[in-house]
Structure 1
């Protein structure tokens, strides 16, 4: 069968991806996808993530999430730089395409100002995550692959959707300030790059025991992420619910008008208000803002499905 290739740079000249690759169950990418499926689903179903996808994210909580990401990526990319020539990681070294800590620094400067480093601190859950990344980098460099896979592949899978949700919910500038973390300027095709990355993982010369350890470490990485989400959720409970002038809760960027919130219709249907929910649904479909929100929700679902097809 004829195959096609696509050129991607990794800082050492162009590399090419073979789109005709046939995957096997013992390929590392397949083992990681299968081994993390359950914990990945749990992570997606944490309340923090569900609220984010619905556009229910407060500015202060979003800022704290960016802080957690900054410390996490700074630690991971420090260890990646130290181990960039390690045979079990070198083929996955794509600093210009993937590294995120500088973009996160710009996002934090946008939110906190020029003295942002004095305004932030590493939370307990994030610190445990950071400590594990440093331990892995120093003692088990091959396991860095699990942490890179968990973070970077997830960012490439749903980053653009989350970027749009955040921009709309927080009324951020359309030019990208505050959400540079989600923008991979050096990657033209996220799908092609993910295929290349998985191919590189599958070519690593790893024995069965190391592959198994990588799956276990990827599960731990998801668990660390869930701990950060749960920590943010608890912090969010201390924030007062934002309300509009008429006393209605604000749902994302709906401006307090509950008829513009597609999730409220679902809630009404579940509680027995089917007729009212249908009326609301029709009103939403007729309203441009409602159409955009519904389109965004379907895009989110498509992004989640795409992850499992990676």
Structure 2
């Protein structure tokens, strides 16, 4: 057993996931694309292209989760109130009316394929579930507020960040972490989950890098 495995024996899974992926999380968060988008420097097309890419990711994730509800790890974390595909479609109707709803780029394909492959074991799907949905309930809320101010949306086009069935995100997140910590996993299995969270953040960053290649054309 490695030093990491010894550490994970007594570490709550939610803590191991957060602390074990901190570097990857921060790298994705501070990509040039996200920094400029949050700084109000990019146009509406930039955000439409962002949504379009992540639509493919959420479609893959939500399909994968529903296909593995027989796995006790997935069943423990699954909650249809978290699903985002319909809200992304609603937002795309605002940002890109009549525009495409599918896209196939190298970064999107890699992310989608990894999520689909994660159906191999419920713990891997839990890692992607955590990376996306807990992020949406955390930093995602700040992103929604920034977008509303920057583009003077008056509530339009940001349904993605509105969890209508979760009125108190902090309370929900506390319960979510408790569910994670209640999953019966060995130290080695916790290590696999943490490793997949790190992969998920790398894939997330790759999408931002891909968007960043068009950043000059996106500037307002």
Same fold, judged at TM 0.5 (above): yes
Pairs within 5 Å for 1:81-230? 81-96=66-81, 98-113=82-97, 115-116=98-99, 118=100, 120-137=102-119, 139-172=120-153, 174=154, 176-230=155-209
Structure 2: 5+ residue stretches without partners: 1-8
- Deviation sequence 1:121-180 (CA, Å, 0-9, x none): 23221111001000112x2232101001111111111222211211222232x1x32111
Paired residue for 2:213? 234
**Is structure 2 residue 36 aligned with structure 1 residue 66?**
no
Checking the alignment, whether the CA contact within 8 Å between 1:75 and 1:134 is kept in structure 2 is yes
Question: After the TM superposition, which residues 260-279 of structure 1 pair with which residues of structure 2 at under 5 Å, given as runs?
Answer: none
Q: Rg larger in 1 or in 2?
A: 1
Distance 1:134 1:211 in 2: 20
SS at match of 2:165: coil
The answer to whether the 8 Å contact 1:67/1:122 transfers is: no
Structure 2 Cα separation of the partners of residues 49 and 111 of structure 1:
17
**Structure holding more helix per residue:** 2
Partner of 1:55: 40
Change in Cα spacing, 1:241 to 1:209, as seen in structure 2 (3 Å) is closer
**Offset of residue 206 of structure 1:** 1.1
Maintained 8 Å contact 1:68/1:126:
yes
Change (3 A) 1:119 1:187: closer
How many residues were matched structurally? 212
Tell me what 2:61 maps to: 76
Separation in 2, partners of 1:101, 1:50: 24
The 1:50/1:26 distance shift into structure 2, 3 A limit, reads same
How far has the Cα of 1:227 moved from its partner? 0.3
Q: 1:111: Cα distance to partner?
A: 2.3
Q: Point out where structure 1 has 5 or more consecutive residues left out of the alignment.
A: 1-23, 243-310
Could you tell me the TM-score, scaled by structure 2's length? 0.91
Q: Quote the residue 1:7 is aligned against.
A: none
Question: How much does 1:110 deviate?
Answer: 2.0
CA distance in structure 2 between the aligned counterparts of 1:217 and 1:145, rounded to whole angstroms: 9
1:218 shift after superposition = 0.2
1:240 shift after superposition = 6.5
How large is the Cα RMSD of the aligned pairs?
Answer: 1.6
Runs of 4+ in 1 over 4 A off after TM superposition: none
Measured in 2, the distance between the counterparts of 1:241 and 1:207 equals 48
